[in-house]
Copies of this chain bind each other. A is one copy, B any other.
Amino acid sequence: MRRKAAVLGATGIVGQRLVSMLSKHPWFELVAIASSERGVNERYNRVVNWIIEDPIPEDAGDMTLQPISPHINADIVFSALPADIAADVEVELAKRGLFVVSNASCMRLDRNIPLLNPEVNAEHIEALELQHKFYGWSGALLKVPNCTTAILTLALKPLFDSFGIDFVAASTMQAISGAGLKGLPAAFIQDNVIPYIEGEEEKVENETKKIFGRLTSKGIVQDDGIKVTASCNRVPVLEGHLITAFVRLKERTTTEEVVRALEEFPTNKIRSFGLPTAPDKPVIVRREVDRPQPRLDKWEGNGMAVVVGRVREDRALGGVKFVVLGHNTLRGAAGTAVLIAELALAKKLL
């Protein structure tokens, strides 16, 4: 029997991805969609500016768009709300017993709220016990990492496990869709690059430390052994965040060993649960000199794998450098949200 799912913030790009994924999901049944914007009480397909490549699902299209409220009749709520209105609603929903998986950036660093990238830190889901204990919510609240962080940490995970990570400098080339459906005027980005995304660098730096942190009896403690610096840029590309990474490992090794660690990343811990959205290989290594590329490689693993390329020695840093790509609204948002929900269900937490 499928769990009843609701999507908050259903008209945005991440909301559209969630609606699309949940409409054909074997474990969840989409029963409600809500928005904080215009169009409430109208049919979804009359309101939404549907821009993703799959057609709008018929059933979802005919649903009535609800207002945002804590009175939602569902087992699980996927939130793609703007950060400024998300906090209150999400906490209220958790208090009322719902299981909330949220893409909103607020509260991501709270040590009693798991910030999950399942192939990287699935074990942090156990923090829900502390959340229940300390906050007294009958439901639960889990967070999806920032899009760039989700992609970067997945590529770093095999290196973290095999060699330890001392330092990472990441320079990003982020897609337009990451700014939301209407967040970026075309006149600003046409034939241009914008070397700034509000709050993004801090998110990458702090969330990475939390994701690689330890679960203690007091919550998740971030790993300060990893030094992270980021420089984030918006480029005129629709989908797919590309990141150049300069990495110094704790343990000296060869480039070949680094490639091997990436290629042999044993993700089976997640796959063994049979999670429908988990890709066969979450980290794919390309050997060509000029890959990965957003337009060509973003669909690997149905948009849930990250693609690493150009792994090479970095003599100046005493480490390695590489390029990594991920689909920003799937691996970086909606897809990871669904994967988290699947993990919770497989672990009978939902």
Contact = CB atoms under 8 A, between A and B. Distances in A.
Contacts of A294: 191-193
Contact of A317 (B229, B236, B299): B229
Interface size on A, as a range, is 35 or more
A206 to B, nearest CB: 11
Interface string A150-181: 00000000000000000111010100110111
B238 A235 contact: no
Interface of A: 13, 49, 51, 53, 167-169, 171, 173, 176-177, 179-196, 198, 205, 227-229, 231, 233, 235-238, 242, 244, 246, 289-296, 299, 309-310, 314-317, 321, 323
A232 to B, nearest CB: 9
Given A191-B238, A246-B231, A323-B231, A316 B169 contact: yes
B227 A187 contact: no
A38 to B, nearest CB: 15
Most chain B CB neighbours (cut-off 10 Å) among A51, A192, A310, A317: A192
Contacts of A231: 171, 244, 246, 310, 321, 323
Given A176-B186, A188-B186, A293 B246 contact: no
A195 B315 CA distance: 19
Contact of A235 (B182, B187, B193): B193
Contacts of A310: 195-196, 231
Contacts of A299: 53
B181 A187 contact: yes
Contact of A194 (B205, B228, B293): B293
Contacts of A167: 316-317
B193 A293 contact: yes
Contact of A293 (B195, B289, B323): B195
A300 to B, nearest CB: 9
Contacts of A205: 316
Contacts of A190: 176, 186, 191, 236-238, 295
Contacts of A171: 171, 231, 244
Closest 7 CB pairs of A and B: A171-B171, A227-B316, A229-B316, A231-B244, A196-B290, A192-B295, A182-B185
Contacts of A227: 315-317
A168 B192 CA distance: 25
